[in-house]
Amino acid sequence: MKKVIFDSIETVALGNVSERTPVFAKDNKGKLLGMVVSEKEGWITRTGGDCGASGHFSTRMECMEASLHLGFTYFVE
């Protein structure tokens, strides 16, 4: 028999994630807050409607790093 683990998380380097793959932002309790999207102005973490958490950046990495102080963690499926 094998034990079932419900909260196992694998990690992946951002460089190995296609820019077409959705990157989701969650809080430290696992609640979905938004996602990283590419717009004309650059990459931004959108948190709903017209709200952005970090402003626009030229790369996904810069965008995601700018939101870390807000307690965001990032996930892909």
Query: Which DSSP string corresponds to 4-69?
Result: --SS------GGGS-TTS-EEEE-TT--EEEEEEEETTEEEEEEETTEESS--BSSHHHHHHHHGG
Q: What is the pTM of this model?
A: 0.80
* pLDDT tens by residue, 22-56: 999 998 888 999 999 999 999 999 988 777 888 89
